[in-house]
Amino acid sequence: MKRFHVHVAVDDLAQSTRFYSALFGAAPAVEKADYVKWMLDDPRVNFAISARGQSPGVNHLGLQVDSDDELAALKTQHNAAALALFDEGETSCCYAHSNKHWLTDPQGVAWEVYHTMGEVETFNGAVAPSCGSSDTAKASGCCVPAASSANAAPTEAKRTSGCCAPA
């Protein structure tokens, strides 16, 4: 079963945590110094906020699936539709170890399609938090690939920056 994912960049994490906890009537499932996530069942959504230096607003949207089989089926569907996609594979980001690919909609909104396999201790899975430890890293759009043309061939969609980009 799929779960809708929304990630919003915020200016004040504590104030936003209070607001969204009241809005959803639920405490966060994950709380870190720079990141908070609610795993809601009604509505079925993975809603995350972070204060990592990005402009406030929607950071990215996504679909979280329960298995690698579901992820593979969506990847096949996206490739068959000739959607430009960046296959990130296994990676650690947003305090989670996941298998994922990215799409960019015609307006430039990044869509993350992923299966989470476990948690990690830091935002990007590094031993020491490298993403967010400097103004440059904060501004890099951690975990979100650079915008690409919605009409590009699947192999043309690439991440050019961000803490979760492959080396």
What integer pLDDT is reported at residue 75 of this predicted model? 92
Please state, in angstroms and rounded to a whole number, the distance separating the CA atoms of residues 109 and 92.
21
Q: Does domain 3-156 have CATH number 3.40.50.10210?
A: no
Which residues have CB under 8 Å from 73's CB, separation 6+?
Answer: none
Phi-psi group of 13: left, alpha or beta (phi > 0 → left; psi -120 to 50 → alpha; rest → beta): alpha
What integer pLDDT is reported at residue 163 of this predicted model? 39
What integer pLDDT is reported at residue 132 of this predicted model? 44
Span 107-131, pLDDT tens digits: 788 899 999 878 878 777 765 544 4
Domain positions in the chain are 3-156
What integer pLDDT is reported at residue 142 of this predicted model? 53
What integer pLDDT is reported at residue 144 of this predicted model? 66
Helices (H), 65-118: 68-80
* Residue 5: count of CB within 10 angstroms of its CB: 21
Predicted TM-score (pTM) of the model is: 0.66
Average pLDDT across each block of 10 residues of the chain; the chain has 167 residues. List them in order: 92 90 89 96 90 88 92 91 87 84 86 86 64 40 52 38 35
What integer pLDDT is reported at residue 49 of this predicted model? 92
What integer pLDDT is reported at residue 93 of this predicted model? 81
Exposed, middle or buried by CB within 10 Å (0-12, 13-18, 19+), for 114? Answer: buried
